[in-house]
Structures are given as structure tokens and as C-alpha cells.
Amino acid sequence: MLRVKFHVLGSLEVSANDRPVRLTGQRQRRLLALLLVNADRAVSLDTLIEVVWDEDPPTTAKRQVQNSISALRRLLAVGPAPEQPTIATEGNAYRLRLAASELDAGLFQNQVDEAQELSAAGQASQAAAELRAALRLWRGPALAGLTGRVLEAAAARLDEQRRAAIEECLELELRLGRHLDVIGELTELVATYPLRERLVGQLMVALHRSGRQADALAAYRRLRESLVGELGLEPGAQLRELHTAILKDENSVDALVSSASPATTASARAVPAQLPTDIAGFTGRVDHLKELDELLPDDPPGGATAAVISAIAGTAGVGKTALAVHWGQRVRHRFPDGQLYVNLRGFHPAGRAVHPSEALRGFLDALDVPPGRIPVGLAARSALYRSLLADRRMLVVLDNARDADQVRPLLPGSRGCRVVITSRNVLAGLVAAEGARPVMLDLFDPAEAHQMLVHRLGRERVGAEPQAAEEVITRCARLPLALAVAAARAATQPGFSLATLAAELRAAGGGLAAFSSRDPATDVRAVFSWSYEQLTEPARRLFRLLGLHPGADISVPAASSLAGVPDGQARPLLAELAEARLITEHAPGRYACHDLLRAYATELTHTSDANADRRAAQHRLLDHYLHGACAADRLLDPHRDPITIPPAEPGVAVERLADHEQAMSWFTIEVPGLLAAIDRAAQTGFDAHAWRLAWAAAYFLEGSGNWEPWAAAQQTALAAARRLADRSGQAHAHRSLGRVSVHLDRVDEADAHLRQAQHYFRAVGDLAGQARVNLDLCWISARQEQYRRALEHARKSLELFRTAGNRSGQARALNTVAWVRNYLGDHEQSLVAGEQALGLHQEIGDRHGEADTWDTLGHAHHHLGHRRESVTCYLRAVSLYRDLGHRWREADTLTRLGDAHHAVGAPKAAHDAWRRAVAILDELGHPDADPVRAKLRSR
């Protein structure tokens, strides 16, 4: 009889009658692994697609998976036995049916269950023996060698089951008095898992029984130092009790052997805890808290088939964030895999809301995804995020959302996750499409408002002046934010009576009666003024000017530029504002402002500062960004033809960047503010800044694959340059729009923009600009396989660069000539031109041009049959592109590197290069991904 066996407790292996069955390719291995870890459970087609492609799947993903399932069926159909494993189709899902004895994980679980029954029956020795037999089934880490978020999560679950079985077995053996036998094993396990308290407790018991009290205490001390130092936690109560018993050398140590269980263990994966601090004295909202409690997951998770979502809606200042954070902190123990939080700034009065891609970047950072593995594209980031949260139990709080589209990419798919969203709008789209449960938040009722004052000020003080307290509540219109600020005013002035506070509110320009209006931006003006009036005059001025800043947050140099003061003066002013809780330092040296406070600051600067002063501050801020962006751009590509920018205004803090790495970091952090500054410049009459800022950001946006923001910025730049009738600005904007249109596969638009750019560059006599456009037109012609026309453009570019005396441009044009000759089949001439270009690039130190030329030379050598030289050239190009952060060019060269490896009979190396290329192109959302994916399918 045929016997098929499957092994996942180690590397994935299949055998038939004890002979190995060969699995073909990673896709087949991944699909079979997922079906095995879900044996006898239906697995949806979407999940199978996700396990093969961690990020954006190809358009043919469904068909490819179905074909692979068919191949697996044929592989398993190796005999006529009716009980042989089968893959059944169930609707849009697949189920692998097999007996528990055919899967080592099933055998393992059966033996663990048997051991637990024996232990419960008092047969400790037999239970320990059964667990030892079960553990011998393991050959290494589960699913060793298979990568991907879904499979890694499944492997982590299996590995945790193994660790739990080891701990249970050791506990039984300690009960049987085998402490001398297990000390060595426990010592090794604790070294591997130093924060697993149960193992440490077992080691402490074994050491104590062996007469090694000092070593037992030292084991506890090492654990405590690690927990406190790494997590800020103390060991659990049971382990502390065991430690006390050993310290006193009490007989109760033996009684504690089975209770040295972990109160806290460190996970092998990141456990973020991003919730803000709970509101002290939070009060009211009893019914709303009950509504949120209904969302809590079962234990273990059950019922829901997807993440459960709650959408808290209400006006500004009504306490949406306070409710979400308070509830989250109250139930955080129900989410052992952590809590994620982001303020989406959906109703920020000045500047842009947080883009879902930015929010996902923060979440992926919190989940310990290395920066190099974080995709650029929104869809790819969202897919990676959902994969990481699969099978985790996490709370996700999305605060201050603008609309449903802003939050949809941030919604996990795991049924163990819960999502709480706050917004001023009722997110009806989420309620209808995603089944979100709306929670409507209104003003405090009178009892809740009174309770809040009691919590903040004390029952005695409020009870002593009931009428004054009632007036404060009335003038605050029971708005929680206003009540909180009013209570803070009273708390910081304990000598003031509540009657005095009520009188201040009455006299403050109509007091807080305005809180009953529908405009929350003005509701708290008088309340905010209390904090504002206590500032020094320089801090007040800086606070007002912050209302002019368009970005979500601001750096110290940008704030210095706004105020026109040195960094050394700006820092203490920012610290003063932070202490007054008018801004927060959310990251070292970066400050953010609540949206209502920003609106208040904006109002103040328009009522308190002269028009000329405001415009001067805006000018300094835009100069700060323009000079910083141009300096960073120069470090990214020193041979890019610079534009002329005016000197910075007095008082502008100009960024001092040392190298390429610092420039990349600066752009990465500041690009949201730069994009907002481009819009603000165009809106406020600083059109020259608008198009120049867009030019300065273009190279970074292109290299990092941010096509849509790049296109939007250049459209703004073009409109600004047109208003100025600035032909040079229009030329640069048209050229940049042409390049981004190629990346977006809008070739006709690209050609039209580049023709316009050529017209304007001719009009201003910019030979280098005309030459660059010819290189771009060459690129388009080559994409359309019009290689003779492409060669004409390349030659024209070389001629123009020579006339202009531009050596860097000549080198790049020579390389382009060589590149086109490759496509014309003239590879010998390609080598000649390419070698000339390479020498010139290396002479002037142009690493970008050198990378391009190594790629061209690799192509020529490949087609001349010089296989080794070809691979060497491509590898040099890939290395340079990676160092320069130019991802799409890296992917382009990796594709050709794969071709070269394939030509010399190295299919594994070829597939590796193509896979890396597809991964980058998919992350960038580039249309060239599908042709490269086709190479993987066909070879």
C-alpha cells in the first residue's frame, strides 16, 4: 500500500513509501506548505495568492495558482489507494484532506494531546515520555527555508507549540525529581529564549534543588535586568514569589514548580505599543464604552471573519480621541500582539492630511520591517501590512480620519484585529462597504460635564461653588475640550475661586458661549488664549507664525526660518510652546500642532501680525525649503544641470548636509512638507518658489518611485511658471512632466510635454536643456522600438552638449548612443562609444552616468557572447544604482542581469535576478513588471 508522508516540522518534505517526492519551484512549495498547515481546513484562493506573492500579485495570479494546484494534485496522485491525500475544491477555496498520521505536525499534536490526558490522569512519567517522543519529530525550525509573511506567521505558531511542549515536558520531569537531568537543557533553552519566564522559573527550581541557590538567584536577576532594561517590565507575580521562596530557602519552592508560568514573555516579533497616554480623570461615555466593548475579540478569536471596525464620529473637541485612547488603554491586555496608532490629520486647517502610504510607513517601522524592505507603492505597503497582521491580535487606532478612502488601505484583514477610527464625518462608506459600526459622540450631558470638573478639581472645590461650576459648564457648552482647558486653568490657579473663572469666561469677548456654534475652529479661541497669554512675547510670535507652515510637522531649522532667528534661539521657544502644550515634540527636533491650535495660530497671525511680516515669514520658510532641497539634490546628483536660485533672505536657516546619505535622509523626512510648500507657494503668490521647489524635488521623487506626487507637483509648477511667463520654468516643468508620464505609461502625454519643453529651452537658448530633452525623446522612441529615430535624438543630444561644453552631458549622450546601438544590433560600436562614456564619467566622478554606462556595456558584451564580462558589468551597475537609491534603474539592470545569467546556463541566478527586479517594479507600480514576470513563468 502506498504511504505518503508530509513533513513541516523542519524543512518542507514529501515522501512516498519512504522515498522523497520532488517538489518543483518555490510557488509549489509555498502553496503546499499553506495547505498543510491548514490541513482539513478550506483555504481561500485570495489567501493562496497572498502566500505566493507577498505584495501586489500579477493580473494572472488566479490562473497561476489554479495551475499550480492542478500540478500538486497530479503530484499527489501517485497511487490508487482511496485514502491517499487529495486537494478538494470548495467554492473559491481549496482543502487538503489527509489523515493526521500522514503529517508530522498532526502526529505531533496527537502525541501532545495524549500526553496532556496522561498528565491529567496522574501518569506524569508516561506523559513526559510521550512529549519526548513528540518532540523527536522535529528536525529544525518549522517550514525552514520558506519565506513570506503568511508562511512565517504559520511557522511561528508551530514553533511556539514546540516551545510550549518543551516547557510542559520539563515541568513534568521536574515533578518526577529529574532536576539534575534537565539543568543542562534548561540552561541552553534560557540562553536561547532569555525572556521566557516559565523556562527561567524551571531553571531556578532545578538549580535550587541541586543545591545551587546562588545560581538560581542569578538566573532570576538576569531575567529581571533584561525585562526592565528592554521592556520596562517587572517579572510576573508568580516568578517573583518563586524568587522570594528561593531567597529564603523555603520548602515552598517545590510547590511553586508548576506555577512559575510567564506573566510576560518577549515575542519573537515586534509588539508595538503606540497608544498615547490615557487621559487622567477620564469620565463619562459609559454607553459608548459599552458599545466599544462589544467589539472585543473572543478568547480565542472567533465569530468574526475579518477585522472588526468601529467608527467614532463627532464634532471637533468632543472627545473622540480621548474616548478611543481611553478604551484602548483599558482593553490593551486583550491585544497581546500590540497596538498601533496614527493621527491622520484629516481636518488639518493648513497643510495636507497624512497620506495612507505615510501612515503605513510608520506602522511598518513599528513592526520592525527593515527600511530596505518597505515598498514604495501604496498597494504594496498595504499588502505587506495586512500580511504582517495576519493571525495577530492587534488594536489599530486611526485618529482624525478625513474619509473612507484615507483609511481603507490601513484596514487589516485578520479577524483577531480590531480597528477604531475617529472622524468629524460619519464614514457612511465604511459602514456600508466594510461593515463598520458607527459610534456617534455628542457633547457631554450635564451630569458628565459636572463629573469631569469633579475629577479635575475635586468634589470639595466644585461642591463649594455649585452655581459658578454650573456657569463654567454652561459657558463651555459641555464641550469636553473646552471643559478640559477651563479645568486646567482652575487647577493651575488653586487660589482662584470658580466664580473668578466664570467671570473670566464671561468677559472673554462673549466668553465661551460661542462654543455652541457649528465652527469648532473658533469655539475654543478664548480658552486657548489663556495658554497663549502666559507665553513670552518671542514664543507668542513663533506660535502665531506656525500657523503659516503648511506641513504636518516642522523641524527646528524651518521654525527658525519662520521666525527669522538662529536655531539657538528657536529651540528654547519651541520648548516653551511644548511645555504650554501648544505643540508637541513627536520626534526629536520635530514639532507638531493640534489642528484646532493650528487654526487658532493661523487666526492670530492674521489678526496680530502685519501683512508684510507674514509675507516675510513665508518668504523665509520657502527659502529654507528651496535652498535645503537644492543642496540635497546637488548631493544626490552633483552633475545635474543646476537652476539659478536667488540668495536666501536674512534669517533663513539653511540645511548643512554632508553627503549623499544625509541628503537621502533629508528628502525622505521632508518631502511631505516640501510638497505642501509647493502648493502653499503657488496659492500665496510665490510662484517662483513653487516651480523651483518642484524642480529640486523631482530627482528624488523619480528615484524613489513617487510618480503621482511628482506629477502633481510638476502640474503646480507648470501653472506657476505660466503665471510668471517664465519660459525657463515652463521648460523644466514640461520636461519633468514628460519624464513622469513615461513612468506612468502615458507615452503620448510624455511626447507632448517634451516637445513643449524643447520649444521653451530653445526660446531661452538653453543648449543643455535641449540636449536633455533629446535624451528623453530618445528614451520614448526606444520604448516604441523606433531605434533609428532614437539614435538621431542621441546624436543630436551629443552635438548640443559639445556645443555647450558640458562634459557630463557629453558622457551621458555618448552612453545613450551606445545604448541605442545595442538595440540596432551594432554591439561593437556600442562598446566603443560606451568605453568613451565610461572613461569620461570616471574622470569627472559622475557615478550616476557610470552606473548607466556599466549597464550599457553589459548589454553589448551579452550580445557579443562575452558572458562573463556581461555579468561583471551588470553587477557593477546594480551595485551603483543601489548605493544611489535609484530603484527603478536597479530593477531595469537586474532584468538584463537575469538575461545574462540565463544565457550562460545559470537558471537559478537568472531567476533570482528577475525575482528581485519584479519585487522592485511591483513596489513602484511600474508597467515593466509584467514583462519580467513573464520571463519567470516561461523559463
CATH of residue 604's domain is: 1.10.10.10
Most confident listed range (112-116, 307-311, 408-412, 482-486): 408-412
Do residue 373 and residue 411 come from a single domain?
A: yes
Instruction: Find the mean pLDDT for residues 740-761.
Output: 92
Phi first, then psi: what are they for 640, rounded to 5°? -75, 135
Q: Please report, to the nearest 10 degrees, the dihedral formed by the alpha carbons of residues 384, 385, 391, 394 taken in order.
A: 170
Task: Give the whole-angstrom CA distance, residue 836 versus residue 847.
Answer: 15
pLDDT of residue 708: 85
Phi first, then psi: what are they for 322, rounded to 5°? -60, -40
Do residue 341 and residue 418 come from a single domain?
A: yes
Domain final position from 75, 102, 129: 102
Reference 743, options 929, 931, 932, 936; nearest CA is 929
Whether 711 contacts 734, CB under 8 Å? no
Task: Give the whole-angstrom CA distance, residue 706 versus residue 360.
Answer: 15
Most confident listed range (210-224, 248-262, 465-479): 210-224
The dihedral built from the CA positions of residue 376, 377, 378 and 379, taken in this order, carries a sign that is: negative
pLDDT of residue 305: 45
Do residue 290 and residue 391 come from a single domain?
A: yes
The dihedral built from the CA positions of residue 803, 809, 810 and 816, taken in this order, carries a sign that is: negative
Q: What is the pLDDT of residues 605-653, one digit of tens each?
A: 998 999 999 999 999 999 999 999 999 999 988 888 889 999 999 999 9
Say if 880 falls within a structural domain: no
Do residue 318 and residue 422 come from a single domain?
A: yes
Do residue 294 and residue 435 come from a single domain?
A: yes
Q: What is the pLDDT of residues 135-146, one digit of tens each?
A: 998 888 888 888
pLDDT of residue 731: 97
Long-range (24+ apart) CB contacts under 8 A made by 866-871 are 867/900, 867/903, 867/904, 868/904, 870/900, 870/903, 871/897, 871/900, 871/901, 871/904
Looking at the 3D structure of the chain, how many domains does it have? 5
Instruction: Find the mean pLDDT for residues 224-235.
Output: 71
Q: Which helix (H) or strand (E) holds 574?
A: helix 567-579
Task: Give the whole-angstrom CA distance, residue 182 versus residue 170.
Answer: 7
pLDDT of residue 538: 95
Categorize the per-residue pLDDT at 306 as very low, low, confident or very high, splitting at 50, 70 and 90.
low
Task: Give the whole-angstrom CA distance, residue 815 versus residue 803.
Answer: 17
pLDDT of residue 372: 60
Reference 227, options 261, 199, 264; nearest CA is 264
- How far lies 148's CA from each of 47, 60, 388, 853, in Å? 12, 20, 9, 35
pLDDT of residue 509: 42
Instruction: Find the mean pLDDT for residues 928-939.
Output: 80
The answer on pLDDT for 866 being more than 70 is yes
Which three-class secondary structure state does DSSP give residue 91? Answer: coil
Give bridge partners of residue 505 from the DSSP assignment.
none
pLDDT of residue 48: 81
Instruction: Find the mean pLDDT for residues 301-307.
Output: 47
Q: Which helix (H) or strand (E) holds 437?
A: strand 437-440
Say if 279 falls within a structural domain: no
Reference 664, options 703, 712, 621; nearest CA is 703
Domain final position from 264, 298, 333: 264
Task: Give the angle 341-343-348 at the CA atoms, nearest 5°.
Answer: 175
Q: What is the pLDDT of residues 153-181, one digit of tens each?
A: 778 778 878 888 888 898 888 888 888 88
Say if 249 falls within a structural domain: yes
The string of DSSP letters for 652-688 reads -------SHHHHHHHHHHHHHHHHHHHHHHHHTT-HH
The answer on pLDDT for 230 being more than 70 is no
- How far lies 432's CA from each of 176, 407, 416, 428, 435, in Å? 60, 14, 21, 6, 6
Do residue 15 and residue 59 come from a single domain?
A: yes
User: pLDDT above 90 covers what percent of the chain?
Assistant: 27
DSSP code at position 194: T
Reference 443, options 454, 452, 455; nearest CA is 452
The answer on pLDDT for 513 being more than 50 is no
pLDDT of residue 736: 95
Reference 203, options 245, 171, 237, 251; nearest CA is 171
Burial classification of residue 587, based on how many CB atoms lie within 10 Å of its CB (0-12 exposed, 13-18 middle, 19 or more buried): exposed
CATH number at residue 248: 1.25.40.10
What is the per-residue burial (b if ≥16 Cβ within 10 Å, else e) of 788-800? ebbbbbbbbbbeb
Q: Which domain holds residue 570?
A: 535-609
Task: Give the whole-angstrom CA distance, residue 74 versus residue 45.
Answer: 19
Categorize the per-residue pLDDT at 439 as very low, low, confident or very high, splitting at 50, 70 and 90.
confident
The dihedral built from the CA positions of residue 891, 897, 903 and 905, taken in this order, carries a sign that is: negative
Q: How many CB atoms lie within 10 A of CB 518?
A: 6
pLDDT of residue 712: 92
Do residue 436 and residue 321 come from a single domain?
A: yes
Phi first, then psi: what are they for 13, rounded to 5°? -140, 145
The answer on pLDDT for 898 being more than 50 is yes
Task: Give the angle 595-405-341 at the CA atoms, nearest 5°.
Answer: 55
Q: How far apart are the first and last CA of the chain?
A: 37
The answer on pLDDT for 798 being more than 50 is yes
Q: What is the pLDDT of residues 381-429, one digit of tens each?
A: 888 888 888 778 889 999 988 888 888 889 987 777 899 999 877 777 7
Say if 76 falls within a structural domain: yes
Task: Give the whole-angstrom CA distance, residue 929 versus residue 927.
Answer: 5
pLDDT of residue 98: 78
Max Cα–Cα distance, the chain, nearest Å: 97
Q: How many CB atoms lie within 10 A of CB 685?
A: 13
DSSP code at position 340: E
Categorize the per-residue pLDDT at 598 as very low, low, confident or very high, splitting at 50, 70 and 90.
confident
Whether 596 contacts 521, CB under 8 Å? yes
Do residue 436 and residue 495 come from a single domain?
A: no
Give bridge partners of residue 395 from the DSSP assignment.
339, 418
Whether 704 contacts 887, CB under 8 Å? yes
| Residue 727: HSE in the Cβ half-sphere, 13 Å Cα cutoff | 11
Whether 573 contacts 539, CB under 8 Å? yes
Categorize the per-residue pLDDT at 938 as very low, low, confident or very high, splitting at 50, 70 and 90.
confident
Do residue 407 and residue 290 come from a single domain?
A: yes
pLDDT of residue 102: 82
The answer on pLDDT for 678 being more than 90 is yes
Say if 338 falls within a structural domain: yes
Task: Give the whole-angstrom CA distance, residue 176 versus residue 197.
Answer: 21
Q: What is the pLDDT of residues 711-725, one digit of tens each?
A: 999 999 999 999 999
pLDDT of residue 264: 32
How many residues does the structure list for the chain?
Answer: 939
Do residue 341 and residue 434 come from a single domain?
A: yes
Whether 475 contacts 310, CB under 8 Å? no
Do residue 308 and residue 221 come from a single domain?
A: no
Domain final position from 582, 609, 636: 609
Do residue 182 and residue 240 come from a single domain?
A: yes
Angle between helices 707-724 and 687-703 (to 10 degrees): 160
Contacting residues for 853 by C-beta, under 8 A, at least 6 apart? 811, 815, 818, 834, 837, 838, 841
Q: β-pairing, 308-313 with 553-555? A: unpaired
Whether 625 contacts 671, CB under 8 Å? no
The answer on pLDDT for 23 being more than 70 is yes
Task: Give the whole-angstrom CA distance, residue 275 versus residue 397.
Answer: 8
Whether 683 contacts 351, CB under 8 Å? no
pLDDT of residue 341: 93
Categorize the per-residue pLDDT at 280 as very low, low, confident or very high, splitting at 50, 70 and 90.
low
The answer on pLDDT for 824 being more than 60 is yes
Whether 159 contacts 122, CB under 8 Å? no
Categorize the per-residue pLDDT at 344 as very low, low, confident or very high, splitting at 50, 70 and 90.
confident
pLDDT of residue 627: 96
Instruction: Find the mean pLDDT for residues 208-226.
Output: 86
Task: Give the whole-angstrom CA distance, residue 497 versus residue 282.
Answer: 23
CATH number at residue 388: 3.40.50.300
3-state secondary structure 774-839: HHHHHHHHHHCCCHHHHHHHHHHHHHHHHHHCCHHHHHHHHHHHHHHHHHCCCHHHHHHHHHHHHH
Most confident listed range (371-375, 448-452, 593-597, 792-796): 792-796
- How far lies 705's CA from each of 382, 625, 879, 926, in Å? 16, 21, 18, 9
Say if 560 falls within a structural domain: yes
Top-confidence residue, 108 or 73: 108
Say if 219 falls within a structural domain: yes
Whether 431 contacts 423, CB under 8 Å? no
Say if 209 falls within a structural domain: yes
Mean pLDDT computed over every residue of the chain: 83
The cell for 641 is: 544641470
DSSP code at position 855: H
- Per DSSP (E only), the strands in 241-380 are 308-313, 339-343
